[in-house]
Amino acid sequence: MELHAGDRLTAKKKHPCGSFGWTVLKTGAEIRLKCEGCGRVVLLSPDEVKRMCKKTNGGEKDL
């Protein structure tokens, strides 16, 4: 799974705020995600993101 800044993810489980949506802020050795519900920012390894992610929505790039 290839992720880029600006991509939107749908998680398998809800964040405690009730939101399923996450936005990718930064990729690399760790991936920085922002909760779309409360704005919480977390750093996760790529393996953790693959496990928590149900589907990927491309982001704003429509080429």
Show me where the domains of the chain are located: 8-57
Q: What is the CATH number of domain 8-57?
A: 2.30.30
pLDDT digits (tens, 9 = 90+) for 1-42: 788 999 999 999 999 999 999 999 999 999 999 999 999 999
51 vs 12: CA distance, rounded Å:
9
pLDDT higher than threshold 60 for residue 63: no
pLDDT at 35: 96
39 vs 14: CA distance, rounded Å:
14
By CB neighbour count within 10 A (0-12 exposed, 13-18 middle, 19+ buried), where does 49 fall?
Answer: buried
pLDDT at 60: 54
pTM for the full predicted model: 0.82
pLDDT at 2: 85
pLDDT at 19: 94
Start-to-end CA span in the chain (Å): 19
